[in-house]
Structure formats: C-alpha cells, structure tokens
Structure 1
C-alpha cells in the first residue's frame, strides 16, 4: 500500500530575476520535513518549480502525493502543458524551446514515480502551510548559496 504524503510549496524571488528561494514542507502522518535553498540569480517561476521538484525528489518510494501550491504556472504546466510539450518534442506551439525546460524535464521525471493530486490555493490568504513556505522561501532568497547555472547560462 502506498503512503500518502502532503507537500506544500512556495517560491520567492527578490526581483525577477534576482535572488530566489523556495520552501517545501513534506508531511507524512505526524512527521514533517522542511526543504529549502537559496539561489543568487533566478526567477520566481524557477523557484516555484524547484519547490515542487525538491519535495517529489526527496521521496524515496512511490507515494500518493497531494501537492498544495499557489502557483498556477506549476499546476497548469503539469496538467495542461507537459502533455502538449511532450507531443511536440518539448517545443511550444510557436515551435520555441519551453522556458525552464531543465526543470520541466525534472518535474516530468519525478511525477512518473508517484500518484499526484494538485490543490491550488490563492497566495497570502492565511493558509497556514502556504504562509510558512512563503516565509521559508523568502528567508532562503535573502541568504542565497547556490548558482542557478542553467538560468545564468541560458540568459547569456
């Protein structure tokens, strides 16, 4: 029987692009794990993606996963856009490369291991875990320690 894990996520960027961070809370029964990292130069969308990816990649076995996010970019990307991009060899309808393709490919790979449901919530409405993730993400953005080399080199 698969375990049920709840993942709460948020990404933050101080400037867009700018220093960024993500906050992820994983919850299994009464156990909780917080994941976070700060990047020197990135975007808000990349941090929203990283928040989800970090949670999914942390799990070492297949699970039922309920992901709560305030990012329509992530939710729509997974539910609506990935199936289209895959059919078009990861190109947009305008035949351009998908933005943040490195992270979308990681997301696609990590989703295959789990049975995932998505809950979108409006940001900053007092949802306890979303507010916690926001605080964690902003704190990490204020103390970056990682270079987002894919983003930096793709912007040259």
Structure 2
C-alpha cells in the first residue's frame, strides 16, 4: 500500500530557528529542527527523515506531497548531474546542502517514490499539518526548548547512524560550516553567525534539464514554439526550465498593470494554479538579427488578452526579454 505523506520545513527569519516535519496522520508524524537553519534545509530534512522512518518498509511506495520546487527538482532532476560532477554545479561551485542531499541519495536507493507539488498555505490538509508541526519545532527552538517530536512511524528504528552527532556538518552555503541536520528531533546543533538562505532562482542557469532539447536557433517560428512552451502549466511549474526561457534582464507589465522582474515572475509561476492557455498568433516579425516581436491573443478560463512578447538572442538562444498584456474587452 502506498504511503502518502506531506513533508515541510520552516525557518523563522530564514535563516533562524528552523524546523522540519512529515505527516501521514495524527498518529503518524515526526518533527525536529535546529536553533539556526534555513527553510530549504528544513524541507530537505523532512524528506530525508521520512525515507529513514519508512526504511523498514522498503517495498511500500512513498508518495510525498511537497510545496518546495527546490526539493522536488533537487531530488528528481538535478542530483544525477551533480553527482556526475562530483557534487558541484556547472560553474564548479559546491552544491548547496550537499550533505543532506548525499544522505537523501543514499536513503532513496532501491525505494519506490513519487513527488507531488502542492501549493503551500492553500488549505491542503496534509500540507497544513506538516507546516504546523515544522513551524512548531522552529518556534520551540526559538524559545530554547525541545520541540514535540511526534509519535514517529510505527515500527521505525532510529539508531545512531540515522542520528549523526553535531560533528557532522551540513553546508547550506559553500565554504561555510553549518550545523548538523540530524534526524533526531532534539539534536543539539552548532550555531552559526552567518548562514544565508540560498536564492532558488540563482540556480536556474546552472543545471539544464537534458529533457529539453535546444530548439532550432535560426528559425523565427521557434519563437512561437517557445512562447507556447512558456504558457504550458508544467513548464511554468518548473523554475529551471522557465528560467531558461526568460532573458536575464526580463521584465513584464502584466494585464493588471503591475510591473514585475524576472525573479518575481518565476516566483509567481510556482504559486499560480495550473490552467490551460491557448495562443492565437496575430503577428511575428524579426526586428533585427537578434530580436523578434510576437503579438498574440491568449485565451484562458479567466478570459482573453492581447499580448506582445519581445524575444532576444542570448548566448545563441532565443529568450523572452519583455512581455506586456492587456485584457481584451
């Protein structure tokens, strides 16, 4: 029988007192944390502890509900490439949270699992329960008390190997020692004076998903293909691919009249509800060797809008430089 669980992390101040939790039901959940950590560390630790807590049931598939695209992409998409590069990114810098990721890589070996992204703070019962317990653990560490560890998973064994001591460091930022991200809920951790929450979107240029082949760079029709791809809910939910399609200096003036930066758009993509959007091309013209202008009508459940997209070549690839939309009367 498939085990369905939500995993979540929390950090007060980010970085600050941090917590993690996974939740199946009120009789099966577990939480822990540290005096100082980040949200991403909590998200990863929740997933790691869930795998460890169900290690005695290796034949049972895990279905993990997670509101962190960073965790889902790290485990399901980026880790194989990082491992091939010696746990380094394409720029040669060490991967963030490398010890936690290595532990997850070991824990998932031979396991059957799937991840499902759920929108955080949107009333999903399991996600809300995990979030409450992760935040409760972070709040406990803020108050300098032990958090409620929960009942755990029936039959689970947490031994010394699963609960490394404070000498085992997990690094959130390259070159900076971090505290132990121990599986034991009340594990004492090393305090840091400097620990930064990594910007997920700073990673977007590092690891290109091999599933996305390059489009024909010399074809103007490629611009329409790329625009359609950017409207695809699956692509918009994938910050790695969406980031590849947006120019580093991208900006948008949306149908609401609000001006948004590249990072603001990527953050908006990860939070929006999936919806199908149809595209009707109105015009496509090449302004110069490096620039193309596409105008089109978009049709979605929210209505139709007239849109213009300015695409520019960047490092040999078409990327969206500017977008503007106006609701159609």
TM-score in same-fold range (> 0.5): yes
Structure 1 runs (4+) deviating above 6 angstroms are none
Which residue of 14, 17, 26 corresponds with 1:16?
14
- Per-residue CA shift, 1:19-64, capped at 9, x if unaligned? 000111136xxx9411101210011000000111111100113121
Asked if residue 45 in structure 1 is aligned to residue 40 in structure 2, the reply is: yes
**1:6-155 equivalence runs, <5 A:** 6-26=4-24, 32-59=27-54, 60-62=56-58, 63-144=60-141, 145=146, 149-151=169-171, 153-154=177-178
- Per-residue CA shift, 1:91-116, capped at 9, x if unaligned? 10111111100100011111113111
Q: CA deviation at 1:7?
A: 1.9
Greater relative contact order (CA < 8 Å, ≥ 6 in sequence): 1
Question: Conserved in 1, the CA contact under 8 Å of 2:16 and 2:37?
Answer: yes
Question: Conserved in 2, the CA contact under 8 Å of 1:21 and 1:39?
Answer: yes
- Give the alignment's TM-score, normalised by structure 1: 0.88
Q: Distance in 2 between matches of 1:26 and 1:110?
A: 19
Question: Conserved in 2, the CA contact under 8 Å of 1:25 and 1:32?
Answer: no
Q: Distance in 2 between matches of 1:140 and 1:43?
A: 13
Higher Rg = 2
- Give the alignment's TM-score, normalised by structure 2: 0.43
Corresponding pairs, count: 151
